[in-house]
Amino acid sequence: MHFSSKLPEVGTTIFTVMSRRALEEGALNIGQGFPDYPIDPRLAHCLTEVIGEGRNQYAPMEGVVELRERISAKLRTSYGRLFDPDAEITVTCGGTEALYDAIQAVLGPGDEAVIFDPAYDAYEPAVRLAGGRCVRVALSPPAFRFDWDQVRQSLSDRTRLIIINSPQNPSCTVAGRDDLDALAALIRDRPITVLADEVYEHVLYDGRRHASVLAHPELRERSFAVFSFGKTLHATGWRIGYCVAPPAMTRELRKVHQFNTFSIVSPLQYAIARYLGEHSDAWAGLSAFFQAKRDLFAGLLRGSGFEPIPAAGTYFQLVDYGALSRDGDMQFADRLIREAKIATIPLSPFYAAPPAMTLLRLCIAKRDATLEAAAARLCAFAQGRAL
């Protein structure tokens, strides 16, 4: 039987490819975005406590109320507004499920979604599965600034969704309040919804403040905002995220969520709720924590030939290897795995039409010793000697 693919051009993600190559070559993997240090032991303890207490059956479809209430309190602290835990907050399987559900809730066959390249790789397949089409607007390195006139030109009467990601993975840039104002003005009289991927909401550097759509009076009325406890609690494997949206939009999102995952692992939800009850500002030190890692890593690499591009947010760091080689980034990243025993993530797979660039993405959510070892390998490679 001929089985035709709904996603013929989708292969294995660049993260899986590079992680697999890292294993094959025994390379240090600082490509994929996950911490290599433990979670707070108290968070782990909360999980064993709630399992022992019998919190082991289906959670409510929208998420356990204890967690949704904690999220609401957190949003009030962060964005100065009360969101209704019953009507506006839904717990999902990581930020990824929230993105997928929102896209399915909005788009139908022939509809268009505007996304910004370099784009996180989960957006386009979800748009296509909804029968929609992505219109990709490229942000140019190294500044990756929005050009709102170009965005305007990319709109059509089929545009139903604009997906914005700030702090942005993989460019490590952040949108300002002026960007949100420009976005709001652009869609004011159009039937366009916003999907705001804000999973790095608490990782901004050098005193920057996150401009959330939830703090924007006009945008919050027409946005799905997506968050991830994987990022805020250093627990990417727990797969707990959530989506915040006005009641009518939340109702539609839950129709998808209900028949996608139905409900999310209940002990993990109870554990996070209990932990946030004890640490209501658990995310307060995140920017300083990652900024110290960014500064350590960038300091070790500066002048080596792997030139760090100043990062404004996220837990990644871009480096420009242009002084060392003019090879394409896929080819150069593979050479680094083989010769320097370091796995990184090339940037071109995040573009539909990659511009000429020599950039690699490195993850700084690692122990200082890992960052030091990675920098030593990169510096040794740059100096032409193998470790």
Q: What residues numbered 165-184 form the site for ligand PLP, per CB under 6 A?
A: 165, 169
- 118 binding ligand PLP? (CB under 6 A): no
Q: What is the C-alpha to C-alpha distance for residues 56 and 270, in angstroms, rounded to an integer?
A: 10
CB 300 within 8 A of CB 368: no
- Only one of the segments 6-14, 63-71, 90-98, 292-300 lies at the binding site for ligand PLP (rule: CB under 6 A); that segment is 90-98
> Rounded to the nearest 5°, which phi and psi values hold at 365?
-80, 60
300 or 312: whose CB is closer to ligand PLP? 312
Q: What is the C-alpha to C-alpha distance for residues 66 and 56, in angstroms, rounded to an integer?
A: 15
Distance set, CA 313 to CA 78, 106, 181, 247, 274 (Å): 17, 29, 20, 30, 28
Q: Residue 379: how many CA atoms within 13 Å on its side-chain side?
A: 14
Please report how close the Cβ of residue 228 comes to ligand PLP at its closest, in angstroms.
3
316 or 321: whose CB is closer to ligand PLP? 316
Measuring CA to CA, which residue among 268, 200, 336, 196 is closest to residue 43? 268
Please report how close the Cβ of residue 232 comes to ligand PLP at its closest, in angstroms.
10
- 241 binding ligand PLP? (CB under 6 A): yes
CB 135 within 8 A of CB 112: yes
- 120 binding ligand PLP? (CB under 6 A): yes
Structural tokens at position 26: 């025994």
- 317 binding ligand PLP? (CB under 6 A): no
- 94 binding ligand PLP? (CB under 6 A): yes
- 31 binding ligand PLP? (CB under 6 A): no
Q: What is the C-alpha to C-alpha distance for residues 164 and 201, in angstroms, rounded to an integer?
A: 13
The closest residue (CB) to ligand PLP is 94
240 or 340: whose CB is closer to ligand PLP? 240
- 95 binding ligand PLP? (CB under 6 A): yes
Please report how close the Cβ of residue 293 comes to ligand PLP at its closest, in angstroms.
17
Structural tokens at position 314: 């996220």
- 228 binding ligand PLP? (CB under 6 A): yes
- 236 binding ligand PLP? (CB under 6 A): yes
Q: What residues numbered 195-214 form the site for ligand PLP, per CB under 6 A?
A: 197, 199
Number of amino acids touching ligand PLP (CB under 6 A): 13
Measuring CA to CA, which residue among 336, 318, 320, 321 is closest to residue 21? 336
Position 53, amino acid: E
Strands (E), the chain: 28-29, 89-93, 112-117, 133-138, 159-165, 193-197, 223-228, 240-244, 307-308, 316-320, 342-343, 345-346, 359-363
195 or 249: whose CB is closer to ligand PLP? 195
Region at 234 (left for phi over 0; alpha for psi -120 to 50; beta for the rest): left
- 124 binding ligand PLP? (CB under 6 A): no
Please report how close the Cβ of residue 296 comes to ligand PLP at its closest, in angstroms.
21
Measured at the alpha carbon of residue 176, what is the angle toward residues 72 and 188, in degrees to the nearest 5? 80
232 or 348: whose CB is closer to ligand PLP? 232
- 96 binding ligand PLP? (CB under 6 A): yes
The one among 230, 308, 346, 349 contacting ligand PLP by CB under 6 A: 230
Helix (H, G, I), strand (E, B) or coil at 146: coil
Please report how close the Cβ of residue 316 comes to ligand PLP at its closest, in angstroms.
8
Please report how close the Cβ of residue 230 comes to ligand PLP at its closest, in angstroms.
4
- Which residue is associated with the tokens 């989506």? 243
- 242 binding ligand PLP? (CB under 6 A): no
- 33 binding ligand PLP? (CB under 6 A): yes
Q: What is the C-alpha to C-alpha distance for residues 270 and 66, in angstroms, rounded to an integer?
A: 7
Q: What residues numbered 42-81 form the site for ligand PLP, per CB under 6 A?
A: none
**Where does this chain bind ligand PLP (CB under 6 A)?**
33, 94-96, 120, 165, 169, 197, 199, 228, 230, 236, 241
